[in-house]
Amino acid sequence: MKKKHRNIFISVLFCTAILAVPALFFLQPKKSFSEREKRYLAEAPELTSQSLRSGSFTEQLGSYVADHFPGRELFVGINAYFDLLSGRQETKEYFSALGGRLFARPVDTDLRILNSNLDSINAFARDLASTEADIPLSLMLVPSSGAVLLDRQDYPDGAIISYAYERAQTGEVDLLGAFRSFSDPEKLYYRTDHHWTSEGAFQAACVYRRSLGLPCPSREEYTQQRYGPFYGSAYAGSGLWLSAPDSLDLWYSGKLIQVSNETGRANNGVFYMERLQERDKYTVFLDGNHSLVRIENLSGGIGAERNLLVIRDSFSNSLGCFLADLYDKVILVDLRYYKLPLTELIVDEDIDEILIEYSVDNFLHDTNLAFLSMDPEPLRQKVEEERRPPNYYAPPQKLTDDFFDGAYYLGDSVDGILSYYCLHNGKLRNTTIASNAMLGYDELAQQVRKHLVYKGNFATLPELLEAEDPKMLIVALGCNDLARADVEPTTEAVAEFLNLVRETSPDTTVFIQSVMPIRVNLDIFNQGEVDGLNTWLKEHAETYDYCYIELGQYFKDEKGQMAASYSYNDTHLKPSAAPIWYQQLMNGGNYYHFPEQYYVEYDGVTNQQLEKAVAAFEEAEPDAFEEEPQKETVLDQIYARICEQISCPEMLELNERTISSYLGLNPEDFRDGRFYLCANNLKADEIWLVELENEDAVQKMMDRARERILVKASSYELYLPEESEIARRGVAVAKGNYLALFLSPDAERMRDIFLAALED
């Protein structure tokens, strides 16, 4: 060839080369996404004066040309193989060794991110430990393939893993040791991908299980299917396009497994087979990366039911497939996408174990572990709930206010003040209080047959019991029997009474309240006898199947008698003692042989908590007789005038609310009302002064007043006959809308004063 021809040839060759590229560039269709690089390629930049001036236009045009350069992958390959031939390839991101196996370069050992990741994990571990939940937390750091397979000192994975395990307050999973001692370590990692193979993931799952002392299946329990070709990330990163591909082994366990992730789509089995058609076949395992993957093993895991939470990177895609077989439920969380505290997952999914799985590379570089957090409180509560003993039944420690609803309360004169207290404060609202001042255990059966009690109309107790069959009967008597002296309470007498009750109303549960202590020892009986009676009642509760209520101790002074502050020199309680009585009546601790049908369910709340509740209840008890300030009305003036002229005994004032509810009257019928009754039950004195709305109300009230005279007379009949007589001579009078009832030795004088006052 002539020299000139040669020059032309060289020139044309060069020009052809540099002209062919732009020609191809403009002619070829542009891809927008590079499968191999897993990224969107640059788009043609927009020409604006702004982008031109700032230089961003030319810069973007440069990336656009480079990204769509004709034969781009061919050139990348050429460059990779040139590097390989010139020896430099080993310094690249991915390099070829051990017969064409592709390795990632050793990670750089900057520990900054690693340390902060360890801090996050330790904070999480402390939160978890503070809940006292029995949830083991393990850290699994996956070494790179180079650290396992290459005999090189510059892979720091081992040192980094020991460093991390030393500092992490978690269980550790020694993969590096297990992998290095594995019979054929090359089988553990792909040749063209940085991930572990199914074999590697299986071994890792077993190492983890063994670290917790849990069983692991043998490889023989799986059937394997091989799919290929698989070109992994190292292949794409190296540019060594002539490398032999890998194949993917899918290990089938035959278990029935369902997988769902945050997209809401569910999959049967851990393998997403359609992914095998794609370039990145690694996504066949659990569909690749997802923020939250939920795997349910419908066939059940190995051993006891356990649920596992894995905080993970992409190594857990294939690891998860094996864990799925071993647990009943596996939740995989990828903190790159899942930023919420893990509390809800741990609590709601009943997590039993937590595993943090990261490759050494990601553990050194991924900062998303900062999102690892939990709120310990809900888990702590759950743990506490689970630790609480099962529910049980026992007598209530505190009776509810409606406990005695529908019960009959059979009392004597001692209970008069108590019944008023109850009326006044709305206690025992639905309990029928049927007192007769003379009742005593000695002849109770006879007495109740003979004497009438009042409930709407007059009847004897057996009649009432037979008619209504109340669920409970509380017997609360004083010492009338002891006072009678001639008749001692005997087993027979009590048994007779109980038989009477059983016969007339078999379903009624009987409660017997202790006899109140007495203030002064008398000739005929003393405190010793009272205590003896109570002891007897307590001892026989089981035999005769009643419930005994011991209240005496709350009213005794240091001498073992009724304290002066609670009584008027006898056995009757002062009004101020009534709240104590009521409070102790409601205290389950005072009951012996409590009827089982009224046991309450304890939901495992600790006794301490219950005691607290009781204390709170006791504190909240209101002062029973605190008077509301009232304006002085006509009725007050009348009462004042009566008391000026006649010496009344110490009287107790009841408010109209109490009376109206006691008498079954409509409170709206009242304009005003004053009710006084002798504070000491030894006198029958009682005064009503009422102003009513209309004639009807006056009529109704008058009926009640007349009944009242009869009831009072009847209840005092055997007890204090003179007082009964005074009651019977009581006066009920109405004038206009005013009405009065006077039970008093001076009842007639009072009536006169009343009428005279109304005249004025």
Partner 1 sequence: MVFSDLIFLFFFLPAVILVTKLSPRSWRNTELFLFSLLFYAWGEPVYVLLMLTVILVNYLAGLLVAAFPAETRWRERRLVLVLAIALNLGILGYYKYTGFFLESMNRLFRSHFPVPEIVLPIGISFYIFQSMSYVIDVYRYQVDPQYNPLLFGTYVSLFPQLIAGPIVRYRDVSDQLTGREETWSRFAYGTIRFVYGLAKKVLLANQLGVLADRMLQTEAGTLSAWVGMAAYTLQIYFDFSGYSDMAIGLGRMLGFRFKENFDYPYVSRSITEFWKRWHMSLSSWFREYVYIPLGGNRRGRARQYLNLLIVWALTGLWHGAAANFILWGLYYAALLILEKQFFGKLTARLPGFLQHILTLLIVAFGWGIFYYTDFGLFRAFAGRLFSSQPDSEEALRFAAAYLPTLLAACIAATGRPNALLKKLRRGRFFWMEIVFLSVLFILSTAALVNQSYNPFIYFRF
Taking the complex as a whole, the smallest distance from the CB of residue 371 to partner 1 amounts, in Å, to 15
**What is the residue-wise DSSP string for 391-454?**
PEEE--SB--TTTTTT-EEEE-GGGHHHHHHHHHHTTTTT-EEEE-TT--GGGHHHHHHHSEEE
The nearest distance, CB 193 to partner 1, in angstroms, is 9
Least separation in angstroms between CB 147 and partner 1? 14
For residue 608, the tally of other CB atoms under 10 A from its CB is 8
Tell me how far, at minimum, the Cβ of 154 lies from partner 1, in Å. 4
By CB under 8 A, the residues from 194 to 233 that bind partner 1 are 194, 233
Min dist. Cβ of residue 311 to partner 1 (A) = 13
Per-residue tokens: 674: 């004053």
Residues 425-444, one symbol each (x = binds partner 1 by CB under 8 A, - = not), give --------------------
Q: Report, in Å, the least distance between residue 220 CB and partner 1.
A: 32
Exposure string over 339-364, b if 16+ CB within 10 A, otherwise e: eebbbebbbebebbbbbbbbbbbbbb
Q: Which region among 65-73, 552-560, 569-577, 647-655 touches partner 1 (by CB under 8 A)?
A: 65-73
Closer residue to partner 1 in complex, CB, 34/526: 34
Closest by CA position to 26, among listed 60, 63, 68, 76: 68
Min separation Cβ 360 and partner 1, Å? 13
- Count the residues of the shown chain that bind partner 1, applying the rule CB under 8 A: 64
Cβ proximity to partner 1: between 131 and 362 the closer is: 362
Phi-psi region of 406 (alpha: psi -120 to 50; beta: other; left: phi over 0): left
**Using the rule CB under 8 A, is 6 a contact of partner 1?**
yes
Under rule CB under 8 A, which residues in 354-383 are in contact with partner 1? Answer: 362
Question: 328 vs 334, which CB is nearer to partner 1?
Answer: 334
Q: Which residue, 277 or 608, has its beta carbon nearer to partner 1?
A: 277
- Residues in 83-142 at the binding interface with partner 1, rule: CB under 8 A: 86-91, 93, 106
Cα radius of gyration rounded to whole Å, the chain: 47
The packing angle between helices 695-716 and 721-728, to 10°, is: 160
Task: Tell me the three state secondary structure of residue 331.
Answer: strand
Among 28, 32, 48, 79, binds partner 1 (CB under 8 A): 79
Query: What minimum distance in Å lies between the beta carbon of 117 and partner 1?
Result: 15
Please identify which residue in 45, 60, 61, 398 interacts with partner 1, judged by CB under 8 A.
61
Stretch that binds partner 1, among 78-86, 128-136, 373-381, 710-718 (CB under 8 A): 78-86
Amino acid occupying residue 497:
F
CA 602/CA 126 separation, integer angstroms: 33
Q: Which residues contact 292 (CB under 8 A, 6 or more apart)?
A: 261, 262, 331, 332, 333, 334, 337, 338
Stretch in the footprint of partner 1 (CB under 8 A) among 34-42, 129-137, 243-251, 291-299: 34-42
Q: How far is the CB of 374 from partner 1 (least distance, A)?
A: 23
Among 78, 394, 640, 756, binds partner 1 (CB under 8 A): 78
| Greatest pairwise CA separation for the chain in angstroms | 161
Which of 19, 129, 266, 394: binder of partner 1 (CB under 8 A)?
A: 19
Amino acid in the structure at residue 279: R
- Output the 3-class SS for 622-635: CCCCCCCCCCCCHH
Distance of CA 359 to the CA centre of its chain: 39
DSSP for 555-588 reads: TB-TTSSB-GGGBSSSSSBPGGGHHHHHHHHTBG
Distance of alpha carbon 287 from alpha carbon 265, whole angstroms: 11
- Cis amide leading into 29 (omega within 30): no
Among 8-16, 209-217, 612-620, 621-629, the segment contacting partner 1 (CB under 8 A): 8-16
Which two tokens mark 448? 């109740």
Between 55 and 213, whose beta carbon lies closer to partner 1?
Answer: 55
Interacting positions 324-353 with partner 1 (CB under 8 A): 336
CA atoms 160, 161, 165, 170: torsion sign: positive
Q: Does 273 bind partner 1 (CB under 8 A)?
A: no
Distance CA 395, CA 692 (A): 47
CB atoms within 10 A of CB 518: 23
| Six-digit token string for 697 | 């109300």
Q: What is the rounded distance in angstroms from the CA atom of residue 433 to the CA atom of residue 422? A: 10
Q: Tokens 């081992």 map to which residue?
A: 158
* Closest CB to partner 1 among residues 14, 392: 14
- Helices (H), ranges, 212-342: 233-238, 315-326
Q: Which stretch binds partner 1 (CB under 8 A): 64-72, 222-230, 339-347, 557-565?
A: 64-72
> CB of 72: closest distance to partner 1 in angstroms?
6
Which helix (H) or strand (E) segment holds residue 266: the answer is strand 266-268
How near is the Cβ of 323 to partner 1 at its closest, in Å? Answer: 18
**CB of 235 vs partner 1, minimal distance in Å:** 9
According to CB under 8 A, which one of 131, 314, 432, 514 is a site residue for partner 1?
314
172 binds partner 1 (CB under 8 A): no
Our finding on whether 14 is near partner 1 (CB under 8 A) is yes
Angle of helix 315-326 relative to helix 198-211, nearest 10 degrees, comes to 60
Q: Judging by DSSP bridges, how do beta strands 266-268 and 307-312 pair with one another?
A: unpaired
**Contacts to partner 1 from residues 571-600, by CB under 8 A:** none
359 within 8 A of 315, measured Cβ to Cβ: yes
Kindly tell me which of 316 and 567 has the beta carbon lying closer to partner 1. Answer: 316
Q: Is 279 in the site for partner 1 (CB under 8 A)?
A: no
Alpha helices in 131-188 (DSSP H): 145-149, 157-167, 175-180
Nearest distance in Å: CB 108, partner 1 = 9
Segment near partner 1 (CB under 8 A), from 150-158, 431-439, 632-640, 649-657? 150-158
Cβ atoms 574, 624 nearer than 8 A: no
Chain centre distance of CA 335: 29
Nearest alpha-carbon partner for 670 in 681, 661, 682: 661
Chosen residue from 99, 153, 607, 628 binding partner 1 by CB under 8 A: 153
Quick check: 27 binds partner 1 (CB under 8 A)? Answer: no
Q: Which residues inside 227-266 make contact with partner 1, applying CB under 8 A?
A: 233, 236-237, 239
Stretch 285-304 residues interacting with partner 1 (CB under 8 A): 289
Among 30, 126, 152, 706, binds partner 1 (CB under 8 A): 152
Q: What is the nearest approach in angstroms of partner 1 to the Cβ of residue 41? A: 9
- Beta carbon of residue 210, minimum distance to partner 1 (angstroms, whole number): 26
* Residue 2: CB minimum distance to partner 1, A: 11
The nearer residue to partner 1, 65 or 302, going by C-beta atoms, is: 65
Closer Cβ to partner 1, 57 or 554, answer by number: 57
CA angle in degrees (0–180, nearest 5) for 340-321-290: 30
- Residue 55 within binding range of partner 1, rule CB under 8 A: yes
Measured from the CB of residue 356, what is the shortest distance to partner 1 in angstroms?
A: 15
> Contact positions toward partner 1, by CB under 8 A?
1, 3-4, 6-11, 13-15, 17-19, 21-22, 25, 36-39, 52-55, 58, 61-63, 65-67, 69, 72, 75-76, 78-80, 82, 86-91, 93, 106, 152-154, 194, 233, 236-237, 239, 280, 282, 289, 313-314, 336, 362
